[in-house]
Structure 1
């Protein structure tokens, strides 16, 4: 029985070179994923994640404000409930004597007295009991408190660690002199020869396939995602051409072709709470991975036209 979903294999980047090298870059604005260009290297990065990070931060502030206003409402309601019961007790004692609550059989008066107890100070536990047991529309109040307290609290618990722990993504670096492409993630280095780089384009992103060492020490594949339009849900494939053309023309024709008026250029680095620092021995690691690629030799083979040949099942 055949598979319902057909496996799609990444295609070599060189299949697109002829088309990309013929594109006039002057007809496009500089693609936003390009973050640095000099005579030796071009760097691209998923820089739109900074915008999402800012939106997440603003949303977090909104949730904190919502929760803060709700807690302030609780505090004011707590003080008000305590004040009302203290005034009620004081008024009854002024009228009937200080021992009124020890002698009376008035169940309502006893109930009001018990709301704050003999110390006549309403604890938070007493306030919660009073809030949800001694008034009308209790069910609606409980639902409202859950919505305006529970949901913001849950959102804060999810967003706050995500924003703080999210690392600034490492760039994908195209080295023209060595004709190597590499990046890293949490200390692990990804690398591939430029002539062997493969990519997969879909409606969400471009995926650049590099090689990396897996936890078990074997040589695996790493996917570097890039969304040139910044839209995480949908992008037309035509929107990827400016970025890919910029990369191809830099690697084949040099910095002068893509940046004729400047010796180098670097975009303002995006703001993140944490960086993913470049490994200190990255050059040695890149060379070692490239050597392992040759030794392992387990790339998916290509036919005469450069199309991947699926393995036999």
Structure 2
């Protein structure tokens, strides 16, 4: 992947090697999850509980480019990009393409005669013509299927082929035609629906860490997800890191809601060390400020190509502050919820 972050090329091998070298000094000697792989942990934990553990073991310097999936660092805010931007292209797009290709395959093989079928149909009509010229008595029903298939031009078409099967084909061929028509209709609905969803799904909001207010928040389709930093939950999986927020729920009034980030920005597996690096950056910012993360006054990355290809943006709710205040009144209940419930 190549993009520009903080006016520094992201994807340049020399830059990547430099980043790997500076992070190598902080690689973990001791695992946080000694008893079992972190990928199998299903209960969320309080993020704040990691502060002492990470501060004792990890030291990170400030850089002009914090990299990872960090999109913004200023006096009060650190923002992290959602993992959905790349997942949308690497997981959803291939599935949509596959459905379209399967639909075209069904249509080309089931609703259109092959070259061999057309050639054989023309042979049958030539045979009929020869027999008539020789005065041999023929049964028109023996040739009507192929005549209907070829039409007047001898080349066949979609409608001519379907009508030939429906009117003069065998019971078996009719059965498979109807099955293929139903399958094609289902695939068409799935293809069109998933394509519309892909194009119209809005760009997901970043996750924001507000140092001044000591809160963490994001939003989704007009609904705010937030909590105090001390109540934030987390859970580690093979694809990245889940942060657990408090949010309004239709049936339960208020409930926990998780959002995933991929610390390295990679779609494939992220390791525990990758998660640790991002966690250390977050604690540095929330405890010490931007000077512990960046060397400049402000850092804002230029979104990569996967971040830009959207027709819509999930805009910040107009009543954001009102929703945030309501959540922060109650988020002391959040740790008890996510530590007791399995994912």
Tell me the TM-score normalized by structure 2.
0.64
The 3 A distance-change label for structure 1 pair 204 and 262 is same
Alignment gaps of 5+ in structure 1: 1-5, 302-307
Which residue in the other structure is 1:193 paired with?
A: 228
Q: Which digits, 9 at most, give the CA deviation of each residue in 1:163-207, with x for residues without a partner?
A: 235443221111111111111111111111113323233444422
Which residue, out of 327, 333, 338, partners 1:289? 327
The 3 A distance-change label for structure 1 pair 9 and 126 is closer
1:112 is the counterpart of 2:143: yes
Which residue, out of 222, 237, 244, partners 2:279? 244
Counterparts of 1:118 and 1:41 in 2: how far apart (Å)?
69
Matches within 5 A, 1:262-273: 262-268=297-303, 270=307, 271-273=309-311
Q: Which digits, 9 at most, give the CA deviation of each residue in 1:103-143, with x for residues without a partner?
A: 97434x54113433599556232444699759xxx8xx99x
1:125 is the counterpart of 2:159: no
Alpha-carbon shift at residue 243 of structure 1 (Å): 0.9
Which residue in the other structure is 2:253 paired with?
A: 218
SS at match of 2:242: strand
Which residue in the other structure is 1:16 paired with?
A: 50
Aligned length: 283
RMSD across aligned positions (CA): 4.5
| 8 A Cα contact 2:235 2:242, kept in partner | yes
SS at match of 1:223: strand
| 8 A Cα contact 1:11 1:198, kept in partner | yes
Counterparts of 1:259 and 1:243 in 2: how far apart (Å)?
14
| 8 A Cα contact 1:31 1:242, kept in partner | no
1:36 is the counterpart of 2:72: yes
Q: Which digits, 9 at most, give the CA deviation of each residue in 1:1-35, with x for residues without a partner?
A: xxxxx996533222222343453334998343212
Tell me the TM-score normalized by structure 1.
0.69
Return the index of the structure with the highest Cα Rg: 1
